[in-house]
Chain A
Amino acid sequence: MSILVLAEHHDGQLADATAHVVAAAQAIGGDIDVLVAGRDLGSIAEAAAKLDGVARVRVADSEVFAHQLAEPLADLLVSLADDYSHVLAAASTTGKNVLPRLAALKDVAQISEIIAVESADTFKRPIYAGNAIATVQSGDALKVITVRSTAFDAVAQEGSASVEAVDAAVDNALSSFVGEELAKSDRPELGAARVVVSGGRGMGSGENFKILDSVADKLGAAIGASRAAVDAGFVPNDMQVGQTGKIVAPDLYIAVGISGAIQHLAGMKDSKVIVAINKDEEAPIFQVADYGLVADLFEAIPELDSKL
């Protein structure tokens, strides 16, 4: 068996998610190649070559892949897929965008967001917002899979894979990049943070989210939000934790002013320790919280800040 992992990268850096996807590939077993596609990939390919268990890094350096558009990237993967039994990518917005397109072009099913590998053709994945876990078996010759990166520990960075260029003759007449608007943050990335502090509708306003800053800084935490807080316009949507936002599984998750709707729990209930701070003692979040504090967050957060 041989496995192709599509590397995830942003701003000239290999994303942490890739090391988690390589771990999932190791659980399947076989030779693992990593495909890095984009522009100016030197340092990204170097970082990918250091991932443990990777045999070969294949680099497709071309303007056509510069913005990770689905149409050319899927065509590139199609041109390489015949050499592989599995193609894996992180269940990021890029992976989710590209892999189903590849699967359909190869006339195979795609298996979304696996959380465990049972065997080379059998995988576990959450359905119904994480309220059930399905075990599915693929009878297809090519397995196209996205991986929930929080479900696999990252591989170490002591490898030394070979790096070689892919001769990719792919053009794209269907789509083009117009622009992007990225949120700037000095904090750890939400998906990879060891501690996450999230605010919900109970925060009352976007301005009030500032009271989480100091606590988050002291804990080295990323700041997240519930869908209610995003829909209310308090914070941008890339902070959203939930079924329709980011899935996180940090060591410590602190939910502040969040009731705990199913859609939110789907995004954080695999956290190791969950703390809930909410003034409504009936809030469903207390059913999953390891430690619950029934208190007004506007008093509890400053006090917590002073005691850390």
Chain B
Amino acid sequence: MKVLVAVKRVIDYNVKIRVKPDGSDVDLTNVKMAMNPFCEIAVEEAVRLKEQGVATEVVAVTVGPKAAQEQLRTALALGADRAIHVESDERVESLGAAKALAKVVEKEAPQLVILGKQAIDSDNNQTGQMLAALTGMPQGTFASAVEVDGETLKVVREIDGGLQTVALKLPAVMTTDLRLNEPRYAKLPDIMKAKKKPLDVLTPAELGVEVASGLTLLKVEPPAERQGGVKVGSVDELVDKLKNEAKVIA
């Protein structure tokens, strides 16, 4: 079966972000960018399905600016067969991305679409669910284990309080949680080979979608700073402070 895997270019998760002085957004100039960590897990799962002989072709897709092709090349180096770039310089929110991805799903007709559960920039956790809705597919979100069984996808989901297993009728959409797998690193020869793999570029207009959002970002500000605390010298002092100063224990 064909697997489509969506990836997003985001700020590297180790970077301490800065808010622009005018409060319009987060400052992304000269900041290290990378593939969203949950998307790495999605690519890894798609490649493992191929290695198991379940998937026959893995297609990586992204929606975003031209620079996002770097992340598609990373996906190709990790084992995806080809890539599709929906190029847009606009701010694309989850619904817009889901609409563009839905058109790609229509063209490619994959049996399984894998996304990360959330992007670490917007922290939305929406795109996979929205894509499932727009394509009329069932969704297996926050997956920590998956198994393809004929026409059914079994997904173990991480829910509050434990794990839930659901069976989905294929074609389906799933989103990855952290414990699904441990992503591999791209090897140098694979990075070289990835440069020759096909990468198609499309625009939202060519796909016939409008990626603009009903949301307006009015302001971005740093969170309230916590007041610097004190170091205590002993457990006795700690207990005393908690009882008498902070009054959080009796």
Contacts and interface: CB of A to CB of B under 8 A. Distances in A.
Contacts of A130: 223
A93 B160 contact: yes
B157 to A, nearest CB: 8
Interface string A108-134: 111111000000001000111111111
Nearest to A294: B231
B235 A131 contact: no
Given A10-B161, A138-B214, A132 B95 contact: no
A279 interface: no
Interface of B is mostly: mixed
Nearest to B37: A244
A307 B236 CA distance: 7
A267 B93 CA distance: 23
B124 interface: yes
Contacts of A180: 159, 162-165
Contact of B246 (A129, A134, A175, A273): A273
Nearest to A75: B133
Interface string B131-161: 1111001110110100000000010011111
B186 interface: no
B196 to A, nearest CB: 35
Contacts of B213: 109
Nearest to A136: B215
A173 B232 contact: no
Nearest to A263: B13
A273 B16 CA distance: 24
Interface string B197-229: 000000000000000011111111111001111
A269 interface: yes
Contact of A128 (B123, B126, B235, B249): B123
A101 B141 CA distance: 11
B138 A238 contact: no
B17 A132 contact: yes
A301 B4 CA distance: 49
A97 B139 contact: yes
Contacts, number: 251
B179 interface: yes
A109 B92 CA distance: 11
B158 A93 contact: yes
Contacts of A231: 178-179
B126 A135 contact: no
Contacts of A308: 239, 249
Interface string A183-194: 100000001000
Interface of A is mostly: mixed
Nearest to A69: B166
Nearest to A288: B226
Contact of A93 (B122, B127, B142): B142
B11 interface: yes
A260 to B, nearest CB: 12
A137 B216 contact: yes
Interface residues of B, number: 78
B125 A126 contact: no
Given A101-B139, A293-B235, A139 B161 contact: no
B138 A175 contact: yes
B115 to A, nearest CB: 12
A62 interface: no
Contacts of A173: 169
Contact of B161 (A71, A74, A182, A230): A182
Nearest to A71: B138
B168 A175 contact: yes
Contact of A129 (B120, B124, B219, B234): B120
Nearest to A253: B248
A292 B229 contact: yes
Contacts of B80: none
Contact of A127 (B98, B122, B139, B216): B122
Interface string A285-307: 01111111111000010011001
A289 B214 CA distance: 39
B165 A109 contact: no
Contact of B214 (A109, A133, A295): A109
A251 B247 CA distance: 10
A127 B229 contact: no
A67 B159 CA distance: 12
Given A113-B123, A132-B19, A307-B236, 9 more contacts: A67-B166, A92-B160, A93-B141, A127-B123, A178-B167, A252-B248, A252-B249, A290-B246, A308-B239
30 contacts: A67-B166, A70-B139, A93-B142, A93-B160, A100-B126, A101-B130, A103-B126, A104-B133, A104-B134, A107-B95, A109-B93, A127-B123, A127-B220, A128-B17, A137-B215, A137-B216, A137-B218, A140-B215, A178-B167, A180-B159, A191-B160, A195-B248, A238-B160, A252-B246, A269-B226, A273-B242, A273-B248, A290-B227, A291-B229, A303-B235
Interface of B: 11, 13, 16-17, 19, 26, 93-95, 98, 117-118, 120-134, 137-139, 141-142, 144, 154, 157-169, 177-179, 213-223, 226-232, 234-236, 238-239, 241-242, 246, 248-249
